[in-house]
Amino acid sequence: MPTFLPIQGDRTPINIVQIHTEDVGGGASNAAYRLYTGIKSLNPTIHILVKYKNSDNPDVIPVLPDNDKLDLEIKLSSEFVHQHYVNKNRSGLSNTLFSYPLIGYNFGHSNVIKNADVVNLHWISFFCSLSGLSKIIDMRKPIVWTLHDQWVLTGGCHYTSGCNQYLDKCIRCLQLVNDERQLPSHFYKRKRELLKRMNPVIVTPSHWLADTLKKDIFFQNMRVEVIPNSIDTALYTNIPKKTARDRLNIPLDGFYLLFCINNAAEKRKGIHFLISSLQYCMDDPAFFHKVTAGEIRVMCFGDPRGWTNTTGIPLISLGRIKSESELCTVYSAANLFLVPSTDDNLPNIVMEAMSCGTPTIAFKIGGIPEMIRHGLNGCIVEQTTARAYATMILELCNNPDHCKQMSEHCRTIAIQNYSLDVQANRYLDLYGELVHATGTNNNESPGAMIHESYEILPVANDTYADETILKTLSAHKDRILQKTDHRIRITDQHFRYQKFGRLAQLLTSIRPGNNLMHRIHNITKQLIHKGRE
């Protein structure tokens, strides 16, 4: 099993660039941004290269200004190829994200990357194509790839849902109903050819993901390090429960169960297990009495769309949480945090709750058991069933003193293992080792840049993928135009000029080198013409 890197003393400053699809917003991007925050306090020269910039941090450099999301990849790859070849073709095994590295950006002229000593890739789906990654490899920089899910192993799925086809080239993908073109197997092969050229140091936040890699003979000769994600323990701190509840304007008394409900329709989030578990709990006379008496309360945060409360328990819905300080208040108000996920790596929400002193109940899946020490700072449910989960809820609801003891341990474990400086020091030691081995340290900064110019880079020299894209575009050309026409009608003249001017700029950056690109040009000329009418 991979071991942690030792923390060393003084270091030479390193010029670092992290690359991820967005700076903040999703679980993977938030985790990567926390790494940036920890490193920035120890090593000032670090930048983040993103597709979508959501913060006002000058160290974050978007490939497009103003978060312009009407780019080619969204228009032609995500909306149509993924929609019709993936999303409408899913089997019942999973509905978790499935993505192909079809079209991305050309990083070959990026000054941010050119001036860097080391490149750290994170979650890059819908941002980097294999061709774009190849341009980074050509710069001969040490590359670290931090994995936030299982996508690097597979032909397209981000979580395998128990499928082991990645050990057999992802042939006959079980997550697709019809895989006649064998695209997962094709991109599986292309991805591994690229990884062989890249030879990155792979960092996984969990031993579970590292062990999953090592089951695949391809990764057994690659260097894999385990460095857990981090949490700002100074921000995520334990607030007295009555104070937290008063801030949220909820009843001060009672034993509170908390859960998060983002992406409720996604099977691996396990909301269906949670609903069934709470229904089982309501069959218990003592639990039922405490709920009706207001001694046990249930609250949730996030987006409640996609599910119906059929538990019979009154639910306090806090909605979307707008700030991390408010999120800290929510965690602190609860006695127990319920995480029913059936597939996950090292989820931020468990770490966040822990840092706020709130113990978690979770299934024995992924990297979660590495964070939760059963009975000490939370409880692990061995069997992935709703009844087993309900049994654990009932046990802890009947033993509030044990929950209080676990709460006291939560914060200590979070500070010792998951603080920003612990993660940052381990990464900096790794970066320093790689820079020293390759002699790439130049200690130059790209300076304060709002954005750089990047051209669109589709799949290159890949006739098989080109044919699939062309087939999809040809089949849905009328729908593309209809959708564009609708967007034009609902916008005013200024917006239309701005957006389609940007779209035209993006599209004209493509050099049509084959029939596919010529066909795309023919379609997009019509789009641009309609946008200017």
CA distance 391 to 85: 41
Structure confidence by residue, pLDDT tens digits, 405-428: 999 999 999 999 999 999 999 999
Residue 79 CB-density burial (10 A; 0-12 exposed, 13-18 middle, 19+ buried): middle
CA distance 57 to 79: 29
Cα 355–chain centre separation:
20
For 61, list phi and psi in degrees, rounded to 5. Answer: -115, 115
Pairing outcome for strands 456-457 and 104-105? antiparallel
Q: Which segment of 29-33, 100-104, 123-127, 527-531 scores lowest on mean pLDDT?
A: 527-531
Joined together, the tokens standing for residue 210 give: 């590292």
What are the residues whose beta carbons fall under 8 Å from the beta carbon of 406, sequence distance 6 or more? 359, 375, 376, 377, 378, 379
- Section 27-46 average pLDDT: 96
CA distance 230 to 35: 7
Distances (CA, A) of 203 to 120, 144, 334, 521: 10, 7, 33, 40
Structure confidence by residue, pLDDT tens digits, 142-177: 999 999 999 999 999 999 999 999 999 999 899 988
The confidence score (pLDDT) of residue 486 equals 43
CA distance 82 to 155: 14
The confidence score (pLDDT) of residue 467 equals 64
- Section 261-283 average pLDDT: 92
For 311, list phi and psi in degrees, rounded to 5. Answer: -80, -20
The confidence score (pLDDT) of residue 286 equals 97
Averaged pLDDT of the chain:
84
**SS3 for 241?**
helix
Joined together, the tokens standing for residue 161 give: 């849902």
What are the residues whose beta carbons fall under 8 Å from the beta carbon of 219, sequence distance 6 or more? 153, 202, 213
Q: Tally the C-alpha atoms within 13 A of residue 182's C-alpha that lie toward its C-beta.
A: 12
What amino acid is encoded at 124 in this protein?
I
For 425, list phi and psi in degrees, rounded to 5. Answer: -65, -40
Neighbours of 6 (CB within 10 A): 8
Percentage above 70 pLDDT, the chain: 77
The confidence score (pLDDT) of residue 56 equals 94
- Section 106-127 average pLDDT: 93
CA distance 120 to 202: 10
Percentage above 90 pLDDT, the chain: 62
- Pick the residue with more confidence: 498 or 168? 168
**Residue 518: in which H helix or E strand, if any?**
helix 515-532
Structure confidence by residue, pLDDT tens digits, 458-494: 555 565 665 666 666 556 555 555 554 444 333 333 3
The confidence score (pLDDT) of residue 180 equals 75
* DSSP output for 145-164: EE-SSSGGGSSSBSS-TT--
CA distance 411 to 332: 11
The confidence score (pLDDT) of residue 461 equals 54
User: Cα Rg for the chain, rounded, in angstroms?
Assistant: 24
Give the max Cα distance, the chain: 71
- Section 385-391 average pLDDT: 98
Matching residue, tokens 């119906």: 308
Q: Tally the C-alpha atoms within 13 A of residue 286's C-alpha that lie toward its C-beta.
A: 8
Is residue 500's pLDDT more than 50?
no
CA distance 184 to 389: 35
**SS3 track for 323-371:** CHHHHHHHHHHCCEEEECCCCCCCCHHHHHHHHCCCCEEEECCCCHHHH
What amino acid is encoded at 409 in this protein?
H
